[in-house]
Amino acid sequence: MAETVKVGELAKALDLEIVSGDEKALSREIITGDVSRPGLELTGYFNYYSHDRLQLFGSKEITFARRMMSEERLMIMRRLCEEDTPAFIISRGLEIPEEMFKTCAENQLPILRSKITTSRLSGQISSFLDGRLAARENVHGVLVDVYGLGVLLQGDSGIGKSETALELIKRGHRLIADDRVNIYKQDELTLIGEPPQILEHLIEIRGIGIIDVMHLFGASAVRGKMQIQLAVYLESWEKDKKYDRLGTSDETVELNGVDIPQVKIPVKTGRNLSIIIEVAAMNFRAKTMGYDATKSFEDRLTRLIEENSDL
């Protein structure tokens, strides 16, 4: 489910100056990550006015507004203030017209301001809101940061996901989420995972209970969110089952509409899963950089066959 974002939360997250607006005004909800720059609206064209978006005023909008007569400016500002308009935001620390103050006060709309450029501010607002407002899906698993790679550990209950994650943490890697991972799409190809608020920094180890990873291992052992780049499925070892020994299978798992590369690791006594997962992460990164050990082995094998066939 998508969250809701209040104007006050946006102001705090992006360090925006609250120029005007009481607690009620700052409690207005933002329902879309899109940002509107009301250029045509300032000329009086309101046929396609996106009134439910944040209204961002940069140098162009403010300069144009200043050229109007005060009565015209007041009329336009009143038309911009719809019931579901979340807030007005001013970039570059520009001076705010008195008519904007008056109409926003009449409609209990907050005015925020930033010193940064309009395009940069627009990007920051959209990035923050897209992440917060994106539809989320819960998956069972453990998300860890292994060498800067977001690795999602999945498998049957009791297979040892949390214990493996704990060993990875002790080896210097970082925990993002244990047991349940909230995932959302940052864009069409990028999947972000984060913990539910109630489980943040916590991990459950059977026989011990709940432990606070940040309290025991320090702030460097945890991370708030991470792009999911590799899925590792832990499965019980079966004696008669054939497993991929060369790494030729390119399996994927679909999560929230995005295909994530997946490797399956059989679990049995004596296998050091944390080291295997470290190597899987390093091998995946090597592949993304253009080196494939399996292909290199196959090329060597082909050359050896060709050399022997010439004898």
The response to whether 160 counts as a known ligand-binding position is yes
Q: What is the pLDDT of residue 1?
A: 46
The response to whether 119 counts as a known ligand-binding position is no
Residue 187 annotated as catalytic: no
The response to whether 34 counts as a known ligand-binding position is no
Q: What is the pLDDT of residue 302?
A: 76
The response to whether 159 counts as a known ligand-binding position is yes
Number of Cα atoms under 13 Å in the Cβ half of residue 38: 29
The response to whether 122 counts as a known ligand-binding position is no
**Predicted confidence band at 44 (pLDDT cuts at 50, 70, 90)?**
very high
What average pLDDT score do residues 139-147 get? 95
- pLDDT of 305 > 90? The answer is no
Q: What is the pLDDT of residue 224?
A: 93
The response to whether 33 counts as a known ligand-binding position is no
Which of 240, 245, 250, 268 is catalytic? The answer is 245
Tens of pLDDT, residue by residue over 200-237, are 999 999 889 999 999 999 999 999 999 999 999 999 88
Which of 140, 171, 271, 300 is catalytic? The answer is 140
Q: What is the pLDDT of residue 244?
A: 67
Task: Provide φ and ψ at 5, rounded to 5°.
Answer: -125, 130
The response to whether 250 counts as a known ligand-binding position is no
Q: Long-range contacts: 79-85, Cβ < 8 Å, 24+?
A: 79/41, 79/46, 79/49, 80/38, 80/41, 80/49, 80/51, 80/55, 81/106, 81/107, 81/109, 82/49, 82/51, 82/52, 83/107, 84/31, 84/51, 84/52, 85/51, 85/52, 85/53, 85/55, 85/109
Residue 140 annotated as catalytic: yes
Tens of pLDDT, residue by residue over 250-294, are 789 999 889 999 999 888 877 899 999 999 999 899 888 887 777
Which of 37, 113, 136, 161 is catalytic? The answer is 161
Q: Does domain 137-297 have CATH number 3.40.50.11540?
A: no
Rg (CA), the chain: 27
Question: Under 8 Å CB-to-CB from 9, ≥6 apart: which residues?
Answer: none
Tens of pLDDT, residue by residue over 58-117, are 999 999 999 999 999 999 999 999 999 999 999 999 999 999 999 999 999 999 999 999
Q: Where are the domains of the chain?
A: 5-133, 137-297
Tens of pLDDT, residue by residue over 21-33, are 999 999 999 999 9
**Predicted confidence band at 240 (pLDDT cuts at 50, 70, 90)?**
confident
Domains 5-133 and 137-297 share a fold: no
Quote the tokens at residue 301.
Answer: 């094998």
User: Is 154:140 a contact under the CB 8 Å cutoff?
Assistant: yes
The response to whether 156 counts as a known ligand-binding position is yes
Q: What is the pLDDT of residue 307?
A: 73
User: Is 294:246 a contact under the CB 8 Å cutoff?
Assistant: yes
The response to whether 126 counts as a known ligand-binding position is no
Q: Does domain 5-133 have CATH number 2.130.10.10?
A: no
- pLDDT of 2 > 60? The answer is no
User: What torsion do the CA atoms of 162, 167, 170, 176 make, to the nearest 10 degrees?
Assistant: -30
- pLDDT of 246 > 70? The answer is no
Tens of pLDDT, residue by residue over 157-182, are 889 899 999 999 999 999 999 999 99
Residue 132 annotated as catalytic: no
Residue 179 annotated as catalytic: yes
Which of 34, 130, 179, 292 is catalytic? The answer is 179
